[in-house]
Structure 1
């Protein structure tokens, strides 16, 4: 038994020695290429392109393929873990340098705001029109429902959001909810509730678009019906214009964001339902890319709306000034989306 154990131990030792020798030989034969690639990648990661020679730049793709091949061989021959880890990390870094995005975040943002976003919105113009019609119809439905039966008001607007803004409230109570409330928490809660609700609606309107766009349309109707109910309430006390001014400061941006989110979701759903001559997956993929660009802008619009809601509306406490701010924002968004062309490269129209 001792002789057999000694023989086995000797065999294992020889196997380990052969593996180590093979690993060392493998590394020595290829290490110069690895080191050269690592030096090039490090310089490019540090934006030191001027320090890289033309020869190294030309050799970069070949070096990447060589190191990737070395990694494949190392995995097949079960070389030591340290070599494998080193090669895997190097190949990953080199891949981003060779095949990764060529533009920085600033370049992407400049292209996005410089025409990419507006072009994406124009490319789904038909869906924007449908979403707009549905939102207008939803507002009208909300108004008519509460006008017929005020009990609908509580079905459309939650008690937490409504607060004192309920049917039967006096003219003075409703007016006080619009003016001189910058230092009171009640109005801040109501404003925060509106923003939170609209942000959720925007995200859901887009996310539910895959179901052929039907849930998106229903969500737009539900959300704007509550707006119609609120308009009816204030109109009954002669405060409709004042309410519109109160909403306009942030609402022209916030509702525009909901409109675009709904249109983006509808665009995806419509592409799935009516792919045309394209396969469904391809149609959905193309629509999804356009809609994703639109939704990236929707997030930006919601941030702008939050800033307007948190500052501009509190600082401006009269209807005319609020109307001016809201009208300016609406004009600016329309001009950007439908008049400004900029650099729309990379966004395909449907």
Structure 2
């Protein structure tokens, strides 16, 4: 068949020959591709004056070619190539390209803290859930030590349970490390908290219920461990050992839980949007905060290593932990000006 029939007038419309079409326009496509590649690898300053003047003309020509290719059902590979070429050209012509360093600077200066600040209600809820779990477990174990074994897994306890001696518990927080026990316990604790943060975020889509339960359970484990050490007269020392890195680590978990709750509430109460659309929108708004959570967990890991290996004084441990908490609060919630990219967007 060599012609298409026009539906309105019945006049045959000639088909576009793919080979001839490509031969007539491929030189322009290739030049546009080369110009865009040079901009992507270097910058627009890599182009000469003639290239800059030709760029919008080549882009419009490529759009016209794409329209013809779609309407006449040319081969799919050509349509895909033109779609990708036009998309790349669009972002270079009409987007606001910034360097990697500029993007990182904007992330740390305003993107990350603003994302966390927007979650302040959910973060406050996560704080109360964690505290409620810790207080509940502490009270239960203070009255009946057997509750400890229902809350703390054996891998985490690793001998630090109500039956442990004062000397064993003291070795956990002071003095030289014995047979790698402290290192194993600390590594397990960090891995566990990282998993809690990830799951608190990832499971938020289930109407936020799993995220809330994880935060309560994490608080219960914290309260259970404090209760064991407090019964041996080491509660203040153990809290200091946790504080040096725990203020950062627990804060990160609460933010991750806040992200999960934001997604869960969006799914439960989507308003006029479809549930999937509401979940996607909430996920995009919390993704930046979760990137910050990863950074916080890395900082917590370094603080835990320093505190475990070099700092033995309770006052120093509390001082570092409280200073980190104050620093995070100031970083997140201190009012700040919009970044350059945000001003450009507005």
TMscore range, shorter length:
0.7 to 0.9
Indicate the residue corresponding to 1:117 in structure 2.
112
Tell me by how many angstroms 1:97 deviates. 3.4
2:105 paired with 1:138: no
Partner of residue 160 from structure 1, selected from 140, 155, 159: 155
- Using the TM superposition, name which of 26-35 and 132-141 deviates more: 26-35
Tell me by how many angstroms 1:256 deviates. 0.4
Partner of residue 191 from structure 1, selected from 186, 194, 198: 186
- Using the TM superposition, name which of 302-311 and 243-252 deviates more: 302-311
Partner of residue 211 from structure 2, selected from 192, 216, 226: 216
2:237 paired with 1:236: no
- Using the TM superposition, name which of 65-74 and 141-150 deviates more: 65-74
Structure 2: which 5+ residue stretches go unaligned?
1-16
Cα distance between partner residues in 1 of 2:243 and 2:146: 27
Kindly report which structure 2 residues correspond to 1:172-183, keeping only aligned pairs within 5 A, or say none.
172-182=167-177
2:42 paired with 1:47: yes
Maintained 8 Å contact 2:215/2:257:
yes
Indicate the residue corresponding to 2:258 in structure 1.
263
Cα distance between partner residues in 2 of 1:133 and 1:145: 18
Cα distance between partner residues in 2 of 1:167 and 1:190: 16
Count of residue pairs brought into register by the alignment? 326
Cα distance between partner residues in 2 of 1:79 and 1:192: 56
Indicate the residue corresponding to 1:225 in structure 2.
220
Maintained 8 Å contact 1:116/1:346:
no
Tell me by how many angstroms 1:102 deviates. 1.6
Cα distance between partner residues in 1 of 2:112 and 2:271: 25
Indicate the residue corresponding to 1:7 in structure 2.
none
Q: Return closer, same or farther for 1:313/1:343 CA change in 2, 3 Å cut-off.
A: farther
* Pairwise CA RMSD: 2.9
Tell me by how many angstroms 1:100 deviates. 6.2
Indicate the residue corresponding to 2:10 in structure 1.
none
Indicate the residue corresponding to 2:14 in structure 1.
none
Indicate the residue corresponding to 1:273 in structure 2.
268
Cα distance between partner residues in 1 of 2:279 and 2:261: 11
Indicate the residue corresponding to 2:310 in structure 1.
315
* Larger of the two Rg values belongs to structure: 1
Cα distance between partner residues in 1 of 2:261 and 2:84: 42
The 3-state SS of whatever aligns with 2:312 is coil
Indicate the residue corresponding to 1:247 in structure 2.
242
Q: Return closer, same or farther for 1:86/1:210 CA change in 2, 3 Å cut-off.
A: closer
Tell me by how many angstroms 1:242 deviates. 0.6
Q: TM-score, normalised by structure 1?
A: 0.82
The 3-state SS of whatever aligns with 2:159 is coil
Partner of residue 301 from structure 1, selected from 296, 301, 309: 296
Partner of residue 30 from structure 1, selected from 16, 25, 34: 25
Kindly report which structure 2 residues correspond to 1:1-40, keeping only aligned pairs within 5 A, or say none.
25-40=20-35
Structure 1: which 5+ residue stretches go unaligned?
1-21
Cα distance between partner residues in 2 of 1:292 and 1:84: 33
Q: Return closer, same or farther for 1:289/1:23 CA change in 2, 3 Å cut-off.
A: closer
Maintained 8 Å contact 2:18/2:74:
no
Q: TM-score, normalised by structure 2?
A: 0.83
Tell me by how many angstroms 1:253 deviates. 0.6
Maintained 8 Å contact 2:245/2:303:
yes
Cα distance between partner residues in 2 of 1:80 and 1:264: 41
Maintained 8 Å contact 1:156/1:229:
yes
- Using the TM superposition, name which of 178-187 and 273-282 deviates more: 273-282
- Using the TM superposition, name which of 186-195 and 140-149 deviates more: 140-149
Tell me by how many angstroms 1:49 deviates. 1.9
The 3-state SS of whatever aligns with 1:177 is helix
Indicate the residue corresponding to 1:201 in structure 2.
196
Maintained 8 Å contact 1:212/1:266:
yes
- Using the TM superposition, name which of 112-121 and 254-263 deviates more: 112-121
Indicate the residue corresponding to 2:13 in structure 1.
none
Cα distance between partner residues in 2 of 1:309 and 1:95: 47
Measured against aligned partners, the alpha-carbon deviations of 1:47-92 in whole angstroms (never above 9, x if no partner) come to 24224245543543442342354356568575798x7897677556
